[in-house]
Amino acid sequence: MAIRSDLIVEAGALATTLTGTTVLDVRWRLAGPPGRDDYAAGHLPGAVFLDLDADLCGPPGEGGRHPLPDPGDLQRVLRAAGVRAGRPVVVYDLGDGLPAARAWWTLRWAGHEAVRVLDGGFPAWVAAGLPVTAEVPRPEPGDLTVRPGGMPVLAAAEAGRLAGEGVLIDVRAAPRYRGEVEPVDPVAGHIPGAVNLPTTEHLEADGRLRAAGDLRSRFAEVGVDDGVRVGAYCGSGITAAHTVLALNLAGHADAALYVGSWSEWITDPDRPVA
C-alpha cells in the first residue's frame, strides 16, 4: 500500500510546488521553548508561523489542555495566514509530526480538504539542501470559511462507549497508559477498555511515517480492521492527531479523534479510570 500523497508530502516534491502552496510553520514543544524562536531563526520561504496553543486550540479548561478552537477565532487566524479554500496547504514542525498532524487535523476539521503534512518536517527540508529564510512574509488575506465537521470527533461519552464497542487507542507511552507515571496530568491511568499503541511506533528513526502497509499491520495487531470503528486519544489531543493521520494513511479514513483526551476525561470524577 503506497503512501497517500494527499496526506503527506516529501520535501523535494513540496519544493517544486512551493509558490502555489500556503505553508504553515507550527513548530512547537510541550514544555517550550516557543516555536516562534525557531521560526525567527529560519523557515521555509513564504511560510507563516502559527502558534499551536494560541492560534489552533481553544483555551485550556474543562475541555482539556488543547480543546477545539472557536470556529470564528480559527477562521480569523487562518485567513490572516493567507489560507484559501482553493489553495493547498502544507504544515510542518520540528520533525516528529505531532503538532503538524494536529494542525492538519484542525484544518481538515474546519473544512479545508487539501491539507498535507511535510514528512520529516523542517529537518527533512534542511537535509534535502533546500532554501531557508528569516524573511517574514506578508500574505494576502485568505478566504477560508470554517465549517466544523470535516473530521470525526469523539466526545467523552462517545470515547468511553467506543472502548467497549470498537477500538479506542491510547497513544501515550506505555508507563502512562498503565498508570505507573503521569508527568503532566493530575490523575494517572487510562480509559477502561482502551488499548495501548504509542504513536512513536508509527515513526521511522528520522521522524518520517512508516510505510502504509506497515502501519496497517500494526493497527491490525490491536484489533483495527476494515469495518471496525476506531478512535484515538492521548493526553490532550495533540499526539493522538498524529495517530489519526497514521490511521488515514493505513486506509482507516473514518478514524475519530477524542480531542479533549485524558486531560478532559479526568475533569469528571464520575468517569472511570483503569
- Residues labelled catalytic: 234
Where does residue 269 rank: exposed (0-12), middle (13-18), buried (19+ CB within 10 A)?
exposed
Cβ–Cβ under 8 Å, residues 169 and 222: yes
Alpha carbon distance 180, 19 (integer Å): 49
Check residue 119 and report its DSSP letter: T
Is 240 in contact with 261 (CB distance < 8 Å)?
yes
Instruction: Give the residue from 61, 55, 141, 127 showing the smallest Cα distance to 91.
Output: 55
Cα Rg, the chain, nearest whole Å: 18
Which of 172, 148, 165 shows the shortest CA–CA distance to 232? 172
Q: Note whether 24 and 81 are within 8 A (CB).
A: yes
HSE-up (13 A, CA, CB side) for residue 85: 8
Q: How far is CA 149 from CA 113, 247, 257, in A?
A: 12, 18, 12
**Other Cβ atoms closer than 10 A to 2:** 8
